Amino acid sequence: MPRPKTLFYRLVATILAAIVGMTPAMACQEEAMLVFDASGSMSIARDGFPKIDIARDAAAEVLPDLTRSRATGLVTYGGEQGEGCTGVSLRFAPMADSADLIIGELTSIVPSGSTPLTEAVWLAALTLKNTGKPGTVVLVTDGRENCGYNPCAAARHIAQTMKTVKVHVIGFYLHAIAESNVACLASTTGGTYTSVNSLDELKQALKKTLACPRIS
């Protein structure tokens, strides 16, 4: 009969083997929705390149690893022909290994239109709620809400009715005067607001907000 110490070591070895054998997707119990700004202002150049291209490059570099460990979906706003506030689109709900799908959608978008970010965040939050799992919305925006909605009121409603959903906001070359318009989406729902002004800063912000949360 094996000694107790031997049984203990076998048990530890079995647990470690199981952990190592787990796929990253199995390890993450929370899902995510990326909300991407494709409004007309994303065509404006910063650091010599259109903001839309900088954002695409950041996504292409970090999403393959991030979506391997966390099911992620996509909502966009803007990118429709003509101006206006009608461009909110649920591209797809959270899926495992969705990097190629997200990058493909972002590559095909031509920036145009206004910034209905409140409607887009609400759609993303509702999509997460409908999955029945905890989740995170990550909004990447270069502008403030300008389609008549109140992002702070929407944040309060999300906090009250979707308690397992939090919103992170990444202000992408966003003017300080516009930050208060969108930062409340994060602060009210338990998320974070991050201001970024370069490709590297955007990559780091995406890694921080889309990474699978550690179990405390």
How many residues are there in the chain?
216
pLDDT for res 14: 40
Q: Which pLDDT does position 177 carry in this prediction?
A: 85
- pTM here? 0.86
CB–CB of 168/198 below 8 Å? no
Burial class (CB in 10 A: 0-12, 13-18, 19+), 33: buried
Sorted by where each starts, the structural domains of the chain and their CATH numbers stand as 30-210 (3.40.50.410)
Measured CA distances, 183 to 54, 77, 151, 168, 202 (Å): 22, 18, 9, 9, 16
pLDDT reported for residue 68 = 93
- The per-residue pLDDT for 24 is 43
Mean pLDDT by 10 residues, the chain (216 residues): 50 40 58 97 96 98 96 92 81 96 96 96 97 95 95 97 97 92 97 98 98 74
Q: Would you say 184 and 155 are in contact if contact means Cβ atoms under 8 Å apart? A: yes
Report whether 133 contacts 73 (CB < 8 A): no
Give the C-alpha separation, 107 to 59, whole Å.
10
Residue that the structure tokens 């787990």 belong to: 22
